[in-house]
């Protein structure tokens, strides 16, 4: 299942059931889990670990050196889970500093030309549409969606089940369960469709609508809005996660 034109370092670890297509290049410190498929012209290098059943399309490159000019060498890692799809020309870079890692979870769908930069922490069940771009140190929580041509600034966080509209410029954190759009991105409403698709209860959806109004429509400071949410909204897990996310924000939230 390995094409004769593929260039694979003899120390690379490729599990059983993998397919490696024409002109792929796999480096010395790469581990690929069973059942994974590399189409053609895929480059995987650096200290990179891929889990099981990942599918990688032509001209994607994974695990190469960070583009961060502060990079001083050392061992940096790229760690990827199971059942991901990486479409054409996707780039995922290793971390910047010795001992650090760029991480991607499982069951993500990363479409063509997307970029995941150094030190990003990308969760699971995420969709990044074409040319979505994450700068360094970005965190994306589970079940989030990044629209096509959207760009996320360094150190921003995208909360669980949030959705970012296409062509948006994200310069602050996008709270979980919300829809953000624009340049710069603003939180527009609750991500109703995403909540329904992910099985969030009707009670939690109503509570999140109330949270949205207090955070973004009542003219309150963030601190006062959070105080009112904690006193007025039911203590559901979704509400508690939203409060914790907003309270821990370092860049502020997209309002």
Q: What residues are annotated to the active site?
A: 118-119, 136
- In 3D, which of 147, 112, 144 has the Cα closest to residue 125? 144
CB within 8 Å of 52: residues ≥ 6 apart: 15, 33, 34, 35, 36, 82, 83
Q: What is the dihedral of CA 176, 182, 186, 191, to 10 degrees?
A: -40
Contacts of 101 (CB under 8 A, 6+ apart): 76, 77, 78, 79, 94, 95, 119
∠ CA 156-158-164, rounded to 5°: 110
- The answer to whether the beta carbons of residues 179 and 190 sit under 8 Å apart is yes
35: left (phi over 0), alpha (psi -120 to 50) or beta: left
Q: How far apart are CA 233 and CA 199, in angstroms?
A: 20
Place of tokens 């003219």: 219
Q: How far apart are CA 138 and CA 63, in angstroms?
A: 17
Helix (H, G, I), strand (E, B), or coil: what is residue 214?
A: helix
Q: What would the two tokens of residue 139 be?
A: 């965190």
């Amino acid at each position: 299942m390995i094409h004769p034109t593929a260039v694979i370092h003899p120390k690379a670890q490729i599990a059983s059931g993998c397919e490696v297509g024409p002109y792929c290049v796999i480096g010395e410190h790469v581990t690929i889990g069973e059942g994974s498929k590399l189409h053609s012209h895929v480059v995987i290098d650096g200290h990179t670990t891929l889990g099981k059943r990942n599918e990688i399309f032509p001209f994607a490159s994974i695990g190469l050196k960070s583009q961060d000019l502060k990079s001083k060498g050392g061992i940096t890692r790229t760690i990827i889970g199971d059942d991901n799809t990486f479409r054409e020309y996707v780039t995922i870079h290793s971390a910047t500093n010795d001992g650090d890692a760029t991480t991607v979870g499982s069951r993500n769908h990363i479409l063509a030309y997307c970029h995941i930069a150094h030190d990003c922490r990308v969760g699971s069940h995420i969709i990044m549409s074409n040319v979505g771009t994450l700068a360094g140190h970005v965190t994306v929580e589970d079940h989030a969606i990044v629209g096509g041509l959207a760009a996320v600034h360094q150190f921003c966080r995208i909360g669980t089940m949030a959705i970012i509209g296409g062509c948006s410029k994200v310069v602050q954190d996008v709270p979980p369960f919300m829809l953000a759009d624009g340049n710069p991105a603003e939180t527009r409403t609750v991500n109703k469709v995403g909540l329904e698709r992910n099985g969030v209860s009707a009670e939690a959806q109503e509570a999140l609508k109330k949270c949205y109004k207090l955070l973004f429509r009542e003219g309150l400071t963030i601190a006062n809005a959070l105080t009112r949410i904690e006193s007025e909204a039911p203590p559901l897990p979704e509400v508690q996660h939203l409060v914790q996310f907003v309270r821990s924000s370092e860049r502020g939230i997209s309002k």
